[in-house]
Amino acid sequence: AAKPPPRFMESLSEAERRALAIESTSLRVRRGELLFRQGTHHDGIYIICPGRIRTFFVAPSGREITLAHWTPHHFVGGPEVFGHGTHQWSGVATAEAEVLHLGGDRLRRMARELPGFAIALIEGLVYKGRCFSSLVQMLGTQSASARLAHVLLGLSDLHGRTVRTADCATEVAISQPFTHDQLASMIGVTRQWVSTMLGKWRSEGILRMEGRRIVIMDHAKLAARCSD
């Protein structure tokens, strides 16, 4: 399995978490409510406590592309984390969320004073940079089926839970439910196409469904679809 992505809050020491609690402001965001909007003033980061935030970009044509779904202990609000810029994309709560907002000036001061905090911030930005680089390459060079396989593997890294079946096979359950519309938004295709492809992969024994949750039954076969 791939190395799990770094979780910002889990990387902090107890003293660093106390400092963060003092310097930040707690906000509650309802499901469907925007946390920040593309093109508006950007100041600092938002650290997710409970909840989930979807980041997305809207092109001039009106087409919307999902960048990522972020879960507790990650932060959103890059790349201008120290402020003095505008948001390059938007963030919306896909579940009731509580976030800690740390303004750019305070973030800069904490990064100077707390080396462990600064390293955790850099590690988070490095991971996000890899995610977005991978997304650009995927959208620009891969077929639709390869993009879907790539996204499902990424979601299994971020939200996956390894389970053992009765015959001792290893499966990975994506713990968060994702609709066909959401998957389509991530790879730039229609919902109908996603439904058809997932149905095909179910018949091939690559994955199965548990309610709205996807379970990857054969990781190697799904990874092979990334080169289709």
Q: How far apart are CA 13 and CA 191, in angstroms?
A: 43
pLDDT at 2: 47
User: How many angstroms separate the CA atoms of 194 and 68, rounded?
Assistant: 17
Kindly report the number of other CB atoms within 10 A of residue 119's CB atom: 14
pLDDT given for residue 5 in this prediction: 67
Residue 99, token pair as written in the block:
């976030």
pLDDT band at 103 (very low <50, low <70, confident <90, very high): very high
Contacts of 187 (CB under 8 A, 6+ apart): 138, 139, 144, 147, 148, 151, 194
Could you report the per-residue pLDDT of 166-210, keeping only the tens digit for each?
777 889 999 888 889 989 988 888 999 999 999 999 999 999 998
Mean pLDDT of the chain: 89
CA dist., res. 219 & res. 217, Å (int): 6
SS3 content of the chain, % helix, strand, coil (to 5): 40, 25, 30
Distance CA 191, CA 35 (A): 26
The share of the chain scoring above pLDDT 90, in percent, equals: 61
